[in-house]
Amino acid sequence: MDKIIISDLLVRAIIGINDSERINEQDILINITLITDTRQAGLSDKLTESVNYRTVSKAVIAHTQIAKRLTVEALAEDIAAICLDQPRVQSVTVRVEKPGAVRYARSVGVEITREPER
C-alpha cells in the first residue's frame, strides 16, 4: 500500500499530569503515516481522489490545542481516530512525542498503529 506522511508537525498545547504541565503549553511533536491507495490520484492528478493531508493536519492541530490530554497515549488515540475518519485512509500510524520531557533524552513518546473498526 501507499503512504502519505506528515512529518514533525509541531503543536504547542497543554499535555501532562504535573501541575505546571496543566498550566503551561508544551511542544508536542506529531508524526502521521496514512496508509491509502494513491494510484487513482496519481493518474488523474485530482486531490479529490486522495487523502487531503492539509485537512488532516489542520484537524489534528485544532484538536491537539483544545484536548488538554493527560497522556501522550490518549492524544495518539485521538489523532488516530481523526485520521481514520478521513475517506480512503485504510490504516494509520501515529507517533506523539514530548521533546525534553525526560532529562538527557531528546524526547519521549508513543507510536501506535490503528485500523478502522469493522
* Domain count within the chain: 1
Tell me if 28 sits within 8 A of 98, measured CB to CB. yes
pTM attached to this predicted model: 0.95
Give the pLDDT confidence score for residue 100 in this predicted structure: 85
Query: Residue 76: which H helix or E strand, with range?
Result: helix 72-84
List, for residues 9-67, the tens digit of each pLDDT value.
Answer: 999 999 999 999 999 999 999 999 999 999 999 999 999 999 999 999 999 999 999 99
CATH number at residue 8: 3.30.1130.10
Residue with cell 485520521: 83
Q: Which domain holds residue 10?
A: 2-114
